[in-house]
Structure 1
């Protein structure tokens, strides 16, 4: 693939069939076996097309999984028994639940650090086998200094792996591998798929040895994506640049308006992307607002063309989150319609 092409172009062309007479789009290949091997072990052309495209955007070799948690599980499989994993205290609840379970089973040691305490993360690199980062974190949108942590990891005597969940930023907003991270993880269920119609996870690494280990973990665990899901994720990727740009414009506008509203006590917006986190006075106010919204969907997932919102502290595993915090995924609706919906609902909690 042409390395001079922009990410916007790569999202359109990477992974497409080439050559005279080839189809414009890769076909859906619903094969359980390819010759003498199960597709679980060797992959399929549909998976390969998606993996090629994501790999081009992230700068490494991609591996597709049945879900985001399937991808996280494969990364965890790389940690030796008894190894220490460091995870942000504010991070995706499903990831923390997986790590917590591994700790209770005696599989790993686990440390939880504040996302913004970069010095603590740097100090932890010396004893860790895996540093798990999110930037920004889910759900509170706290930034993390990926470059500083990866530098500390590279200098550690027993260099730990650094994995970054890049779901919120997407390959368009952040390039963790370029900052020294070993593995990037995506829940393609979210922004990459973009239409709330699939479950799929991805890992990307520039280290071919790690790529092979991740694919071995996929085969052993059976976390293989469906052919239709992989095809849908690739189709969603084709429009990611324009969706990301439009959602970013709307999210920035709404974050500014939310910050000026008297009912809102705090707004977190990383400057780009579809995700906004804002806080109301308490849980009752946030729940009341969610119940009054008509256009914005009250739903747990995110990253679709439709806007959605959720009070995360009400969900299992997120009791640490501020009671009135709302995680807002900005979609592609008209910005003025979205603001009218927000403003009307906020008027009930002032």
Structure 2
């Protein structure tokens, strides 16, 4: 449901403008410039219920519409993707966004598309809770899991044979591998395999997977979109109307619905996404450059670094390199405990927050393998850094002293 019938053509606007302008109430003298927070569980309704009618808030809720419109406009980008129209240039199907109670609720909705006994192709490195759910679905429903290095295009294409669903993270969590989105999504479409891209790390400002042929885009709204570490939400975006209806039905029947106030907070946070993400990306690139030269650092992963395995691919298909850094501290002479070394760095920071989330205005770090469910191929001493919007010199000073602490 559009709340902004009067606006310039989306294709004429920058994403930095769309993020501010989309999802506004219609202009009226004395009217609100921000949507209100309708606190309703039930709506007046009589007779046969039509698909677009508000009747009960679990099925649809006008509190969700402004945020969903804004996110759909951001991921849509005003450009038809390979799935839109026909070879002669048919009309584009506009994107539709669905907000969920959490990122994991959105992941569960995506996995519900798998048939019993089906096959899921997924990255060997990805959000660990999603991987746990995939294993549970495999055990309970006979789903075959094919793990791939998502940066190895040939391996991904080979794994698509006979598959039902492809899940892509790019860059991956926490290893920051970068997939060739046009190639793997094009191969999935050619093979008749549905594709889902988790765009949480890149955000719609960094890349728009629908333009590369993704069937569904997944977000943990908790992270960059909301941006203030104060809500837990998820979202899915698709241009396939039938698929949107299926995912909406799952949301309704499984009760994976978001609260009105949480969605309102997410929309308020979304307004500053362009500024927050621009600052965080720039700081991350500078910190990665300095960390790569630090005498107490053994390895740094960030796609901005010319020597990073994902650099060329990210430069070609992304707008920026993201704000997540992977760091492995250098082992000290005579010390044989890389885990203890990494944990000591976490204990020594004073400005950076030891925390498990990411994408907020505050900078956070953690050793990822402290989670027992993290992939065993993730180095035990890998620190994942989520760069926020603090002054970069303050962030560097804190990291430097933590790395040098005896």
TM-score by length of 2: 0.83
Deviation above 3 Å: which 4+ runs of structure 1?
none
Matches for 1:258-337 after TM superposition, within 5 Å: 258-271=291-304, 272-281=321-330, 282-318=338-374, 319-337=376-394
Find the partner of 2:168 among 127, 130, 133: 133
In the alignment, does 2:395 pair up with 1:338?
Answer: yes
SS in 2 for 1:328: strand
Bigger shift: residues 79-88 or 234-243: 79-88
Q: Is the 1:277–1:328 contact (alpha carbons within 8 Å) kept by the matching residues of 2?
A: yes
Partner Cα separation in structure 2 for residue 311 and residue 199 of structure 1: 22
Structure 2 unaligned segments of length 5 or more: list them. 1-6, 46-54, 77-94, 305-320, 331-337
Give the Cα–Cα distance (whole angstroms) in 2 for the partners of residues 190 and 34 of structure 1. 32
Matched residue, 2:31: 22
Q: For 1:183 and 1:119, locate their aligned partners in 2 and report how far apart those are by CA, in whole Å.
A: 22
Q: Distance in 1 between matches of 2:365 and 2:278?
A: 20
Distance 2:42 2:162 in 1: 43
In the TM superposition, residue 107 of structure 1 has moved relative to its aligned partner by: 4.5
Note if 1:90 corresponds to 2:147.
no
RMSD between superposed Cα atoms in Å: 1.1
Range that drifts further, 168-177 or 140-149: 140-149
Superposed CA deviations along residues 217-244 of structure 1, whole A, max 9, x for unmatched, are: 1001100001111001101110000000
For residues 246-283 of structure 1, give each alpha carbon's deviation from its aligned partner in whole angstroms, at most 9, with x where no partner exists: 11111110000000012211111123222111112421
2 CA distance for matches of 1:148 and 1:183? 16
Asked whether 1:31 is paired with 2:40, we answer yes
CA distance in 1, matches of 2:71, 2:287: 30
Residue in 1 aligned with 2:15? 7
CA separation in 2, counterparts of 1:119 and 1:35? 55
Rounded to whole Å, the distance in 1 between the matches of 2:58 and 2:265 is 19
1:276-323 deviation per Cα after TM superposition (whole angstroms, max 9, x unaligned): 111124211110000000000000011110000000011121143101
**Contact 2:329–2:403 at 8 Å: present in 1 too?**
no
* Residue pairs, 1:1-350, within 5 angstroms: 1=7, 2-3=9-10, 4-20=12-28, 21-36=30-45, 37-41=55-59, 43-59=60-76, 60-156=95-191, 159-271=192-304, 272-281=321-330, 282-318=338-374, 319-348=376-405
Whole-Å separation in 1 of the counterparts to 2:42 and 2:73: 27
Please give the alpha-carbon distance, in whole angstroms, between the structure 2 residues aligned to 1:51 and 1:31: 18
Paired with 1:265 and 1:293, the residues of 2 have a C-alpha distance of: 18
* Alignment CA distance shift 1:322-1:48 (3 Å): same
Give the CA deviation at 1:154: 1.8
In the superposition, the TM-score normalised over structure 1's length comes to: 0.97
Q: 1:107 to 1:18 in 2, by over 3 A?
A: farther
TM-superposed CA distance for 1:34, in Å, is 2.2
Match of 2:86 in 1: none
Alignment check: 8 A CA contact 1:126 1:153 kept: no
Corresponding residue pairs, total: 346
Provide, for residues 324-350 of structure 1, a one-character-per-residue CA deviation record: whole Å limited to 9, x for no partner.
Answer: 11100001111110000000011126x
SS at match of 1:95: helix
The separation in 2 between residues aligned to 1:172 and 1:270, in whole angstroms, is 16
Provide the rounded CA distance (Å) in 1 between the counterparts of 2:283 and 2:155: 35
Q: Is the 8 A contact 1:297 1:308 kept in 2?
A: yes
C-alpha distance after superposition, 1:125-149 (max 9, x if no partner): 2211100000000011111111111
CA contact (8 A) 2:174 2:368 kept: yes
Tell me, yes or no, if the aligned pair for 1:313 and 1:320 is still in contact at 8 Å: no
1:106 CA displacement:
2.4
Please say which structure displays the higher CA radius of gyration.
2
